[in-house]
Every structure is written in structure tokens, then in C-alpha cells.
Structure 1
Amino acid sequence: MTRLADISDIKSIIPLLMEYRKFYGIKEQNIEEVERFLHNRITNNESIIFITFDDETPVGFIQLYPSFSTVSLKRQWHLNDLYVRPEYRRKGYASALMSAAKKYFYDRAKGFTLITEKTNTTAKAFYNANGWKTDEYDFYTFFY
């Protein structure tokens, strides 16, 4: 089952988010900080999260953040996080998360954006298979 997450799902999302962050090299994690982060995103309507389950076991999530397009005068969403536990990969859970997000935002947004590492061939193949296209723009970053 895949569904829109709410405040009652935070305890189920925390371990998934911590695993996701560990994958990206975050070694030291504070569970209270992760919980506060999720709580703030959900209660302040700063992100949309879908969670997917195998029976009652949470196995993955997708999180999107809002942005706006001045050209189209519409909201668009940035797919920032997509994670499925390794033992549940290639079983349709990531596709279910992606489908739930697409369906939810169909009438609510102009579209989606996402960024993935150039070397992440597995993710790139997944996104291509799910209708995503690379665009003609260069993406720049400026971090402190």
C-alpha cells in the first residue's frame, strides 16, 4: 500500500530517512533532529511525503518540495528524496511511490524536477523508465 503520509507516520518514516541519509554519507545522526525536521515539514506544509508499505512494514518514501514557475504562473514540485530499502528494491515500490506522486499532483502542479548524480545509472534508468526526461538546461548550485 502506498499513501500520502501525515503526522502520524513520522515514526515510520524516521528509520527510512536515516537509512537514506546514511546512504549519502551522513554518519552521525540525531533521531530527535530527524523527527523535528519531518514534523516541521509536514505540519508547516513545506513538503509532501508518500510512504509505501509491504503489508504493515514501511519500506520506502518519496518527498517533494514546492517551487514556483514565474513563466507558467504555476506551482511545480521538486522530487528531492526517493528511497526504498535495499531488500525491497526492484519489486515495484519505487514505481508505486512515483505513481502516487504523479497522480496526486496531476491537477495541482505544472510538473516535477529532480536531480540525480551523473554516475547514478540505476536511478537514471528508473527515472527514464518512468517517463522522466533530461532537459536542455544546465543546473548550477551554490552552497555554503
Structure 2
Amino acid sequence: MHIRKATLQDLDIITPLFDGYRQFYRQASNLEGASVFLKERLTNKESTIFIAFYDREETEAVGFTQLYPLFSSVSMEQMMLLNDLYISPAHRGKGIGTLLINSAKELCLSLKQKGIVLQTETTNPAQQLYERLGFNKDPDLHYFWAR
């Protein structure tokens, strides 16, 4: 496996993975919309995306994670939101999620940030992975307002 940060030149590589991620969460496929969304995030430097490749030659992208910046007013520190984590179904259970999350942790440590927040459905089996990698459930973070 090979993990690296995505650049704007990787848009065609990450778009189908991002579309697959959205479909996992019961959204209709929308490759054009996914491409526009990711292009805006990368162009405006609003997120960091790590891509997992099956090999060092980068012939097959098999997963990604996307992180957004957050700030804690109480601690006056920056932190990250691990918003998206997706592994192609054929490659699940091979440690790719661990590698992607560890890449996010390394970035967090290198930037001296407070930590990483993540949110997922309560039925998502990836919760076991998050807990195994040191994430703790936070009962204080359970409100959401929607328009």
C-alpha cells in the first residue's frame, strides 16, 4: 500500500472514490458534482485528502480520507475533522483504513494540533476501527442543527 496527499492533479483519481463514499451513505451517484466539490476544496485549500494506492506505482486508488480544519475556542487550538473515510469494497479488511487514519494522525502531530474529531453513523462497522486506533466516543458532541 502507498498513501500520499492528493493534489488538484488527482481529481480524476479521487472523484470516483468520493462518489462511492457518498453512495455508501445512500446518496445518488453524481460524478460531476463530486468533481466540482472536490476541486473547490483542493483549490481553496479547505481540506486535506489522503489517497491510498494498492501499489507504489499508483496504478489503483483503493481509498481516501478527507480532513477539514476546525478550531477550539476553549483550548485556543486548531484541530481536524476527519469527515470522510472510504475504502473500495474489494479492498476492505486489508488495513487500508488504519494506514489512512495514521496518515491523518501524523499530519495532526506534525502541525501540533489538538486532535482529530470524527462523526459517523452509529451503525457504521468502522467504529471498531476508530476505537482500536484510540478514538473515544464523546457524549458532549451530539447536537446538530439543519436548515
Q: Report TM bin, short chain.
A: over 0.9
Residue type of the alignment partner of 1:115: Q
Partners of 2:43 and 2:77 lie apart in 1 by 23
Q: 2:64: which partner in 1?
A: 61
Q: 2:122: which partner in 1?
A: 118
**Residues 79/44 of structure 1: CA separation in 2 closer, same or farther (3 Å cut):** same
- 72, 80, 95: which one aligns with 2:83: 80
2:98 pairs with 1:92: no
Percent identity over the alignment? 41
Residue type of the alignment partner of 2:106: K
Partners of 1:123 and 1:135 lie apart in 2 by 16
User: Greater CA deviation, 133-142 or 80-89?
Assistant: 133-142
C-alpha deviations, 1:26-76, integer Å up to 9, x for none? 1252x2221111111011010110000012200000001111011111111
Partners of 1:39 and 1:47 lie apart in 2 by 10
TM-score of the two chains, using structure 2 as the length reference: 0.92
- 3-state SS of 1:132 partner: coil
Q: Work out whether residues 64 and 85 of structure 2, in 8 Å CA contact, stay in contact via their aligned partners in 1.
A: yes
Partners of 1:9 and 1:115 lie apart in 2 by 25
- Extract unaligned runs of 5+ from structure 1: none
2:21 pairs with 1:20: yes
- 3-state SS of 1:106 partner: helix
C-alpha deviations, 1:64-101, integer Å up to 9, x for none? 11110111111111110000001101101111101111
TM-score of the two chains, using structure 1 as the length reference: 0.94
Partners of 2:135 and 2:51 lie apart in 1 by 21
C-alpha deviations, 1:87-128, integer Å up to 9, x for none? 1011011111011111111032111101111222x2111101
- Extract unaligned runs of 5+ from structure 2: none
